[in-house]
Each structure stands twice: as C-alpha cells, then as structure tokens.
Amino acid sequence: MLPDKVRLFEVGARDGLQNEKQEVPANIKVELIERLVDAGVSAIETGSFVSPKWVPQMKDTADVMERLTRKEGVVYSVLTPNMKGFEGAVASKATEIEVFSGASEMFSQKNINCSIDESLERFLPVMQAAKDKNIPVRASVSCALGSPFDEEIKPEKVAEVSKKLYDMGAYEVSIADTIGVGTPLQTKRVLYAVANVIPLGAIGVHFHDTYGQALANILAALEMGVARLDSSVAGLGGCPYAPGATGNVATEDVVYMLDGMGIDSGIDLKKLVKTAWFISDFLERKPVSSVANALKSKLD
Ligand code: HMG
Ligand code: MG
C-alpha cells in the first residue's frame, strides 16, 4: 500500500536552525528557503513566532518572511504557540501556521511552559482565529515515540492528543519522534493507534535521526500509506528543550530513497544537495546526510 506521491514538509530553516549555536543571519535563511523552493519544495517551515527569550535563533522570523520572494502555490508555514504568535504569523502573511503539543507532560512543561491540556486550551483561540481567516493549521505531537525524561509514552496517549488536535481543526497531525529513538515496528504500532482515531490522510511523520532509525521508520510509515513526511535539508535539527535531540532525517536521504522506490516527491535531488552544501558551508561543517556526501563530487 505504498503511496505514489508524498508531500515533503521541509523543516530545516526552522527545526534545523533553531538549534544552531551560531547566529544565522536573515539573508542566509532567505537564501536557504528560496533555494529549497527552487529545488521543488512545496511546503516549508520558515521560522517561529515564539518568545525570543526561549528560542533566540527564530527572533528574526518576521524579517525573513518580509524579505522572501515567494513562489505561488508554496506553503510558507510558521510555528505559533499562542495568540501573540498567531498575530505575528498573520502580519507576516504566513500561508499556514503550526501549533505544537506533545505526548510527554514533562516535555510540554519544558518546551512551552504548560501541561498538555493547557497547551490544547491555548490553541483553541488560535485555531478559531485561523479558521476565521481561512489559514490552514498543521499540528505536531512531540515525543510520540519516546521522551527525554524517562517516561513511558503510550500509543493511546499519542492517539488521544492527535484526535483532540484534529477535532480542533488541524488538517494534518505530524507525529514526531523528537529524540529519534523509535524503531519501525513501534512506529507502526503508534501510527495504527493514531489511524484508529483520525483519517490516515491527515497523518504526517517527523523523525529525528539520533539513533539512525529515521529512514527505516519512514519506510514503515510509507508501507502503512502515510504520505506526509517532514525532513530537514542537510539533516539539520534538534529541539533546545529535548536533551539529546539531534538532527532530523535529511531531506536528501529521503528524496534519494523515494526516487529509488518510484515515489514522487517533486524535488530535484541535485539542486537539493547543492542547497545542503550551501547551508553546511555557511555552518562550516559537512552535512550529516550520506546522500549529500556521496553526491558531492557529482554535482557539476
Ligand atoms: P511563557 O514564559 O510561559 O509565556 O512562555 P508568557 O505568556 O508568560 O510570556 C513570557 C514572555 O514571552 C513575555 O515577554 C511575552 O510577551 C513573550 P516579556 O513580557 O517577558 O518581555 N511571548 C512572546 N514573544 C514572542 N512571540 C510569542 C510570545 N508569547 C509570549 N508568541 C511560550 C510560553 C510558549 C511563549 C514559550 O514557552 C515559548 O516561546 N516556547 C517556544 C518553544 C519552542 O519554540 N520550541 C521549539 C519548537 S517545538 C519543536 O521543535 C518540536 C517539533 O519540531 C516537533 C518535534 O520534533 O517534536 C515541532
Ligand atoms: Mg523536530
């Protein structure tokens, strides 16, 4: 039951850069986003409207959004934890917003300073305001396959939070392995629990690759018919509030796998790999992506 086509949601400019120690100026972020769109990315996280004290790396999101030359039909999405964030998103003409909750109580407290239930309550006015303005909302459920705080995460808890977010109006719920610990059969168990309560077509997956399991987990999700995948150019990523969370699965690795399986992602691998090297050169390190490294000598 493999899909013929997937939607890749590129998270490098947000999930990736939010975790960088060095400052990445707005013009580099803009060039990164524009290059990704030129490579065929059709949905992209451009930043977050969150507290600059919590995540200083995203404090220039309004500036980035202002400077971007946008391409018609592309989704430019931003994270919004509350109404203040939503107002920033509207002012910057984001085409979509993202709310983020989790299946771990401790992570919720550390990441957004409230319980899971309180986070859902905070999203209610955001979801309503988005509905009033016809702005699509994507939601994310963190720590769905494991918590950095030594708690057991039950698939039923992931399903419960996913259903609440879907019922509140999210068109997609992205099931996130924030600390990259999940394995393929576990992935299937969690996705089955979620698919029991929301439509399969509304499920997305977001894997970090800390333990090298992300591509295997993506294959497990594809085999169930999941066709919404998050990935991050050059494998950038992590979450400042999840100890041990390293990079997301690299978009280049995902696209190479999809190309080999005859699944359409709409992305030009060569342009993507050049973009991975563009941002990695700026950050003065090699991409963690095997594909970006393997293809480097074949770029010109
Ligand atoms: P708080 O301290 O409880 O909030 O933080 P508050 O309402 O008391 O406000 C405190 C200060 O923040 C005030 O400023 C507010 O104005 C300001 P002050 O008066 O002290 O100068 N503030 C804001 N500023 C800008 N934009 C806003 C905003 N809201 C309040 N929207 C809050 C609560 C949610 C704001 C905070 O905890 C926060 O910003 N957290 C951000 C966490 C974050 O961005 N984490 C990373 C993204 S999630 C992730 O990476 C996971 C994901 O990739 C999936 C996965 O892998 O799991 C999506
Ligand atoms: Mg993440």
Which tens digit of pLDDT belongs to each residue from 91-138? Answer: 999 999 999 999 999 999 999 999 999 999 999 999 999 999 999 999
Q: 143 an active-site residue?
A: no
Question: What is the rounded distance in angstroms from the CA atom of residue 129 to the CA atom of residue 62?
Answer: 19
User: What's the token pair of residue 84?
Assistant: 């203040």
Q: Which residue has the higher pLDDT, 237 or 173?
A: 173
Q: For residues 125 and 164, is the Cβ–Cβ distance under 8 A? A: no
Atom of ligand 1 at shortest range from CA of 239? 50
Q: What is the DSSP string of 8-21?
A: EEE-IIIIIGGG-S
Question: What is the rounded distance in angstroms from the CA atom of residue 272 to the CA atom of residue 267?
Answer: 7
Domain ranges for the chain:
7-298
Q: For residues 136 and 98, is the Cβ–Cβ distance under 8 A? A: no
Q: What is the pLDDT of residue 241?
A: 84
Mean pLDDT of 272-281: 97
Q: What is the pLDDT of residue 239?
A: 77
Which tens digit of pLDDT belongs to each residue from 11-68? Answer: 999 999 999 999 999 999 999 999 999 999 999 999 999 999 999 999 999 999 999 9
Buried b (16+ CB within 10 A) or exposed e, 268-289: ebebbbbbbbbbbeebeeebbb
Atom of ligand 1 at shortest range from CA of 122? 34
Q: What is the pLDDT of residue 299?
A: 84
- pTM of this structure: 0.97
Confidence grade of residue 245 (pLDDT, cut at 50, 70, 90): confident
Question: What is the rounded distance in angstroms from the CA atom of residue 248 to the CA atom of residue 41?
Answer: 16
Buried b (16+ CB within 10 A) or exposed e, 78-111: bbbbbeebbebbbebebbbbbbbbbbbbbbbbbb
CA proximity to 176, closest of 93, 234, 241: 241
Ligand 1 pocket (Cβ < 6 Å) reads 15, 18, 48-51, 54-55, 79, 81-82, 84-85, 100, 111-113, 140, 142, 176, 178, 206, 239, 241
Question: What is the rounded distance in angstroms from the CA atom of residue 91 to the CA atom of residue 125?
Answer: 17
Give the distance (Å) from ligand 2 centre to CA of residue 43. 16
Buried b (16+ CB within 10 A) or exposed e, 218-253: bebbbebebbbbbbbbbbbbbbebbeebbbbbbbbb
Give the distance (Å) from ligand 1 centre to CA of residue 51. 4
Confidence grade of residue 194 (pLDDT, cut at 50, 70, 90): very high
Catalytic residue from among 11, 239, 242, 249: 239
CATH class assigned to 7-298: alpha beta
Confidence grade of residue 150 (pLDDT, cut at 50, 70, 90): confident
Question: What is the rounded distance in angstroms from the CA atom of residue 288 to the CA atom of residue 116?
Answer: 33
